[in-house]
């Protein structure tokens, strides 16, 4: 299924930027404008004067060779630009999913076990609010509260301007630790807290609700009632018999949240001036940088497809019966 999915994604990535109004050559020229002859010359240079089908086939063939092309704005290879900025997005997304799983999974388990309790109602109400609130709104509210009023966290960026060192890995937490500068690692953590909470709120709510639902379904199964009838300790029943079987839909949900995180990163990075692929994609779209938008969408889609493939393979590790039924 990865092959037709990849082809479908390539068609969407190729078509998406071209349906937006605006001429990339005129936008590149800016307010200075450009004469018709030079415009036609540049259109031919970038291949935009060819029929759409021919442009797509050229794009697909280059893609199969691993060539995402060069940005028409910076003239740099799109793959290099993506890989330079991706560690910032990956660091933020990884912190957000850890935050979501660390809180959402236990909260969902307890809510499922204590169905109808005050804790259950509190978790579900909080999850509903977290899921319903848009990222741009919750981000602005948190900046206003924690950065503006309380002054606990910085407003934007990945680290304080007081620190400067050459990046080694692209991951600010690791690079600040390797730099040896006093206070750099602490500064990078403080800058990461607010974007992590904002980006991880929606996945946290989804994971908590899915975990509760899965636990309620599993706790009603015959084998759980049998385990209780045998007098097994409640913790053993929950941890071994119930949770392991409830993890299948939960792991699926966590895998699907990768796409949500990468999509949410675009808004989160814009709000917090986080220099990742989210901001890069926004700028590329506004400048009609066809190559960068196409390449960025393809790379993000490949990451999401690979994550879902890994999730699919994890099913067999969580529940060995799945391996035998395929």
Q: Which two tokens stand for residue 93?
A: 């997304």
| pLDDT for the residue numbered 323 | 54
Judgement on whether residues 222 and 150 belong to the same structural domain of the protein: yes
**Burial per residue of 104-139, b for 16 or more beta-carbon CB atoms within 10 angstroms, e otherwise:** bbebbbbbbbeeeeeebeebbeebeebeebebeebb
Judgement on whether residues 220 and 271 belong to the same structural domain of the protein: yes
**Burial per residue of 31-53, b for 16 or more beta-carbon CB atoms within 10 angstroms, e otherwise:** eeebeeeeeeebeeebebeeeee
Judgement on whether residues 140 and 266 belong to the same structural domain of the protein: yes
pLDDT at 289 over 70: yes
Judgement on whether residues 101 and 147 belong to the same structural domain of the protein: yes
pLDDT at 42 over 80: no
Judgement on whether residues 24 and 141 belong to the same structural domain of the protein: no
Give me the domain span that covers residue 210.
Answer: 97-155+199-275
d(CA 154, CA 247): 37
| pLDDT for the residue numbered 147 | 87
pLDDT, tens digit, 9 for 90 and up, residues 169-188 = 888 899 888 888 888 899 99
Give me the number of domains the chain comprises.
2
Q: Which of 275, 298, 319 is the last residue of a domain?
A: 275
pLDDT band of residue 189 (cuts 50, 70, 90) is very high
Q: Which of 22, 45, 64 is the last residue of a domain?
A: 64
Judgement on whether residues 206 and 60 belong to the same structural domain of the protein: no
Judgement on whether residues 104 and 223 belong to the same structural domain of the protein: yes
Residue pair 112/124 in contact (Cβ under 8 Å)? The answer is no
**Is 127 a domain residue?**
yes
Judgement on whether residues 252 and 145 belong to the same structural domain of the protein: yes
pLDDT band of residue 95 (cuts 50, 70, 90) is very high
| pLDDT for the residue numbered 102 | 93
Range scoring the smallest mean pLDDT among 21-35, 75-89, 91-105, 122-136: 21-35
Judgement on whether residues 145 and 205 belong to the same structural domain of the protein: yes
pLDDT at 164 over 90: no
pLDDT band of residue 190 (cuts 50, 70, 90) is very high
**Is 108 a domain residue?**
yes
Centre a 10 Å sphere on the Cβ of residue 229 and count the other Cβ atoms it contains: 8
**Is 130 a domain residue?**
yes
Centre a 10 Å sphere on the Cβ of residue 89 and count the other Cβ atoms it contains: 26
| pLDDT for the residue numbered 12 | 85
**Is 24 a domain residue?**
yes
**Is 227 a domain residue?**
yes
Q: Is 159 exposed, middle or buried (0-12, 13-18, 19+ CB in 10 A)?
A: buried
**Is 120 a domain residue?**
yes
**Is the pLDDT higher at 227 or at 151?**
151
pLDDT at 167 over 70: yes
pLDDT at 300 over 80: yes
Judgement on whether residues 55 and 107 belong to the same structural domain of the protein: no
Kindly compute the dihedral angle of the four CA atoms of residues 261, 83, 94, 280, in this order, to the nearest 10 degrees: -40
Mean pLDDT within 38-46 = 75
**Is 129 a domain residue?**
yes
d(CA 60, CA 9): 11
* CATH value at residue 259: 1.10.3720.10
Mean pLDDT within 299-314 = 83
**Is 258 a domain residue?**
yes
Q: Which of 275, 297, 317 is the last residue of a domain?
A: 275
pLDDT band of residue 52 (cuts 50, 70, 90) is confident
Judgement on whether residues 144 and 268 belong to the same structural domain of the protein: yes
Give me the DSSP letters along 72-110: TTT-SBHHHHHHHHHHHHHHHHHHHHHHHHHHHHHHHHH
pLDDT at 28 over 70: no
Residue pair 72/46 in contact (Cβ under 8 Å)? The answer is yes
pLDDT at 153 over 60: yes
Judgement on whether residues 27 and 103 belong to the same structural domain of the protein: no
């Amino acid at each position: 299924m990865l092959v037709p999915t990849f082809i479908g994604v390539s068609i969407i990535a190729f078509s998406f930027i071209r349906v937006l109004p605006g001429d990339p050559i005129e936008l590149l020229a800016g307010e200075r404008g450009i004469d018709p002859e030079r415009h036609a010359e540049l259109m031919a240079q970038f291949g935009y004067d060819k029929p759409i089908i021919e442009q797509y086939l050229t794009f697909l063939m280059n893609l199969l060779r691993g060539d995402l092309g060069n940005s028409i704005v910076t003239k740099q290879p799109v793959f290099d630009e993506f890989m330079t900025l991706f560690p910032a997005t990956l660091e933020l997304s990884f912190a957000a999913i850890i935050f979501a799983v660390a809180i959402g999974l236990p909260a969902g388990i307890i809510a499922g076990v204590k169905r109808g309790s005050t804790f259950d109602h509190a978790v579900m109400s909080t999850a509903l609010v977290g899921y319903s609130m848009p990222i741009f709104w919750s981000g602005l509210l948190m900046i206003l509260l924690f950065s503006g009023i309380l002054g606990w966290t910085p407003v934007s960026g990945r680290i304080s301007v007081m620190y400067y060192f050459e990046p080694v890995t692209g991951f600010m937490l690791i690079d600040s630790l390797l730099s040896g500068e006093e206070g750099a690692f602490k500064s990078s953590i403080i800058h990461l807290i607010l974007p992590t909470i904002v980006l991880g709120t929606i996945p946290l709510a989804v994971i908590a609700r899915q975990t509760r639902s899965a636990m309620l379904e599993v706790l009603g199964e015959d084998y759980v009632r049998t385990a209780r009838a045998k007098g097994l300790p409640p913790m053993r029943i929950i941890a071994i018999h119930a949770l392991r079987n409830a993890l299948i839909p939960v792991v699926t949900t966590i895998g699907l949240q990768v796409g949500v995180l990468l999509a949410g990163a675009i808004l989160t990075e814009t709000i917090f001036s986080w220099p990742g692929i989210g901001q890069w994609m926004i700028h590329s779209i506004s400048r009609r940088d066809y190559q960068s938008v196409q390449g960025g969408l393809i790379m993000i889609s490949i990451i999401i497809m690979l994550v879902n493939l890994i999730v699919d393979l994890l099913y067999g590790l969580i529940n060995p019966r799945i391996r035998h039924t395929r």
